A = this chain, B = another copy of it.
C-alpha cells in the first residue's frame, strides 16, 4: 500500500495544511508528555505544587484538541481528501482524542499527588510507581515518535511494550493490597496511589492506540481489536 506522503500534491497550500495538522498533533503530544512528566514527578516526589501545576495546564490541551479537530473537518470539507490523505486525517482525529484523554489521566494523577502530598506521602509506595511512571513516559514518547516518522514496524514494537506496563501495574497492585491489609488506616491514601497506578496503566493503553492508528495510516488496515501477533502475521509480513 502507498506510504502516506505529502510531497505529491499539486497544491502547495493543501500540502502545507496536511503538514500543519501533523505538526500540531506533535505539539499537542509534546505538551501532554510534559504534563505527564510533571504529574509523575509530583507523585514520586510528593510535591503538591507540581501536582497543582498539572491541573492548571489541562485547558490548553483541551483547546488544542478542539482546534485540530476543527482543522481536520475543514480540510475534509474543502479538500475532499481520499486514500492516504484521508487516512492521515482519520488517524489524527483519533490520535488527538487519545492525547486529550491522556491529559485527563495526567490531571487525575496530579490531583492524587496533591492530596497525597498534603496528607503526608507514603514514600515507599510512591517509589514502586516510579519505575512504572518512567515506562509510561517512554511508551508515550515512542508512540509520538512513530507517529512523526509514520513507521508501522516501529509502531508494532512500541505497542508491544504496553504488556510490560500491564505487568508492572499488577505488581504495584499486589503490593498495595498487602499494604492495606497490614495497615487498614492507610486505605484512603493507598487508594489514591491505586488510582494513580490505574491512570498510568490507562495511559499505556492509549499510547498503544496511537501506535495502532499509525499502522492503519501506513497499511490502510484497521488493527484495533487484533492481537499483536496477528497484526505482525497478516499486516507487516506483506512489506
A residues at B contact (CB < 8 Å)? 59, 62-63, 65-66, 69-70, 73, 76-77, 80-83, 86-87, 90, 93-94, 97, 177, 180-182, 184-185, 187-188, 191, 194, 222, 224-225
- Give complex CA distance A180, B177 in Å: 11
- Give complex CA distance A177, B194 in Å: 13
CB distance from A195 to the nearest CB of B (A): 9
CB distance from A55 to the nearest CB of B (A): 14
For this complex, 16 residue pairs linking A to B, each with C-beta atoms less than 8 Å apart, are: A59-B225, A65-B224, A66-B224, A66-B225, A70-B222, A73-B86, A73-B87, A73-B90, A76-B81, A77-B81, A77-B82, A177-B188, A177-B191, A180-B184, A181-B184, A181-B185
Closest partner residue, chain B, to A195 (CB atom): B198
Closest partner residue, chain B, to A186 (CB atom): B181
Closest partner residue, chain B, to A225 (CB atom): B62
Give every chain B residue within 8 A of A70 (Cβ-Cβ): 222
Extra inter-chain contacts (11) besides given A66-B222, A180-B180, CB under 8 Å:
A59-B225, A62-B225, A69-B222, A73-B87, A77-B82, A90-B93, A97-B97, A180-B184, A181-B184, A181-B185, A184-B184
- Give complex CA distance A221, B73 in Å: 12
Q: Which 10 A-B pairs have the closest CB atoms?
A: A62-B225, A80-B80, A77-B82, A181-B184, A184-B184, A66-B222, A180-B187, A181-B187, A77-B86, A177-B187
Give every chain B residue within 8 A of A83 (Cβ-Cβ): 77
- Give complex CA distance A86, B194 in Å: 41
- Give complex CA distance A185, B76 in Å: 57
Among B65, B76, B180, B225, point to the contact of A86 (Cβ < 8 A): B76
- Give complex CA distance A97, B90 in Å: 13
Give every chain B residue within 8 A of A225 (Cβ-Cβ): 59, 62-63, 65-66
Give every chain B residue within 8 A of A184 (Cβ-Cβ): 180-182, 184
Give every chain B residue within 8 A of A62 (Cβ-Cβ): 224-225
- Give complex CA distance A97, B222 in Å: 13
- Give complex CA distance A82, B65 in Å: 21
CB distance from A68 to the nearest CB of B (A): 11
Which of A66, A177, A225 has the most C-beta atoms of chain B within 10 angstroms of its own C-beta? A225
Closest partner residue, chain B, to A178 (CB atom): B187
- Give complex CA distance A146, B27 in Å: 35
